Every structure is written in C-alpha cells, then in structure tokens.
Amino acid sequence: MELDYKALGFWLQFVQVAATGLVFLYVWITNRQKANTQAIKEMRDDIGRELNELDDRLIRVEKDIEHLPTHDDMAKLHARINETGEAIKHIAGQLNQIDRTTQMINQYLLDKGK
C-alpha cells in the first residue's frame, strides 16, 4: 500500500485549519461571554447602587411624612380657623358698637358745651 503524501498533507492542513477555526470560534464565544458577564455584573452593581440611593431617599421621605399633619389634624385645624374667624367677626361687631357709643358720647359732650 502506497501512501499519498500530498493527500495526507492536504488532510493534515485541513485538520489544522479546522482546528484553528474551532479554537478561534471558541475564543471568540468565550470572550463575548466574558464581556456579557462583565456588563451584566456592572449593570447589577449600578442597579444595586441606585436601589440603595432610592431606599435612602424613601427612608428620608417617610421620616419627613411622619411629622406632617394627618387628614384629621388638618380637619381640626380648619375647624379652629373657622372658630377664630367667627370670634373675630364677633369682636369686630363689638368694636363697631364701642365706636358708635364713643361717637355718641363725644357728640353729646360737644353739644353740651354749646
């Protein structure tokens, strides 16, 4: 049996090119996977930081809201303001009466002096 060295050389080169192509494909896929993994890790870190910031902001807002008046407090305040308004109207009426009385006394004194 006679070996055909040219054919054997061709097939060895073909296997070498195919193996090189497969190694290239493996390296390319692996590098893309590493890049994707790194990008996903960075995104997770960014999202984690943003969530921590949002948690901090939410906690601050909740603390601020705790000190705000409730709806019932606002209703009580509104009622007290209405009561104060009514009291001021009453005081204004009394001041008008005092003013009229003072004017009448002043007029009487002025008329008496003539």
Same domain, 10 and 49: yes
* Residue reference for tokens 């003072």: 102
Same domain, 64 and 74: no
Residue whose C-alpha is closest to residue 59's, from 49, 51, 71:
51
Query: Which residue segment(s) compose the domain that 22 sits in?
Result: 1-68
Q: How many domains is the chain built from?
A: 2
DSSP, res 79: H
pLDDT class of 4 with cuts at 50, 70, 90: confident
Same domain, 51 and 91: no
Same domain, 10 and 54: yes
Per-residue pLDDT at 2 = 73
Same domain, 37 and 79: no
Phi, psi (deg, nearest 5) at residue 104: -65, -40
pLDDT class of 8 with cuts at 50, 70, 90: confident
Q: What does pLDDT average to over the chain?
A: 92
Same domain, 40 and 85: no
Per-residue pLDDT at 24 = 95
